[in-house]
Amino acid sequence: MTHQNRRVHSRQFARAELWYVRAAVPVITSLAWRAVAPCAAAAALILSGCGGGARQDASEPSGTFRVAVVDASFPAKQRLATPQRLVIAVKNTGKRTMPDVAVTVDSFDAPSARTDLADAQRPVWVVDDGPAGGTTAYTNTWALGSLRPGQIRRFTWQVTAVQPGTHTVKWQVAAGLNGKAKATLAGNRAPAGSFTVDVSEQPAASRVDPKTGAVVRDGE
C-alpha cells in the first residue's frame, strides 16, 4: 500500500470511528431535556417515597388519648431582649401509648399593620432554642415521640421578646401529627390554653458579675 493510500485509508477509518461515537452518545437538545427532566424528577420522587405510595398518616392509630397538662408556665411580665422560658409538660393519664405527643404554640409572631412589608408576620419572640429533638415539618409544632401510660414529656422553649406590648400566646397539645390520634383532658376538654404577657419596651438592666465576668440581667 502506497503512502498516499495509507493516508486515505486512515482518514476513512477516522471518519467511520467518529460517526460511530456520535451514534453511541447522542446529544440531548435543550428542548428534549425540558421534556425529559420532569419525568426524571417524578421518578426520583417516587424512588424517595415522595408523591406516591402510602398515606403519611397510614400508620397513625385512630382514637382519643387521655392526657393531663402538669405544667404550663411563661412569665406574665417580660422585657425586651431578655431570654425567658416557656414550659408545657404533658402526662399520659390513659391506658394506651400515645403515638407522638406534640404541642403547637401560636403567636411567637403576629401580623403587622404595615403594608410595605413582604411578609406581614413579624416576630414577637425569637425562638432561641426549641424542645430538643422536637422539630417537625409543621409550622409552630414540636413533637417528642411516643408517650407511654404514666409517662411525662416536658416541652421547653427558650425565647427572647423583640416586640413590646401585651400579647397572647396560645398553645394546644396533640396525640399525633396527622389528626387521627386526638388528645383530650378529663371531661373531654381540649388540652389547650393561653398566656397573656406584657412585654416592657425597656430592656432589663444588666451588670457584670465581678467573680465570673458573666453578664447578669436584673431579675435573673
The pLDDT, as a whole number, for residue 108 is: 92
- Amino acid letter at 24? A
The pLDDT, as a whole number, for residue 215 is: 60
- Amino acid letter at 62? S
Round to whole Å and give the CA distance between 5 and 98. Answer: 86
* Average pLDDT value for the chain: 77
Round to whole Å and give the CA distance between 110 and 103. Answer: 19
Domain with residues 63-203, CATH architecture = Sandwich (2.60)
Sketch the domain layout of the chain as residue ranges: 3-48, 63-203
State how far the alpha carbon of 122 is from the alpha carbons of 6, 21, 166, 197, 219, in Å: 80, 60, 15, 17, 27
Round to whole Å and give the CA distance between 20 and 157. Answer: 66
The pLDDT, as a whole number, for residue 214 is: 66
15: cell is: 471518519
Element (DSSP H or E) covering residue 182: strand 181-184
The pLDDT, as a whole number, for residue 24 is: 43
Q: Which residues of the chain have pLDDT under 50?
A: 2-57
The pLDDT, as a whole number, for residue 6 is: 47
The pLDDT, as a whole number, for residue 49 is: 39
Model's pTM, two decimal places? 0.67
CB 198 within 8 Å of CB 210: no
The pLDDT, as a whole number, for residue 39 is: 40
The pLDDT, as a whole number, for residue 116 is: 65
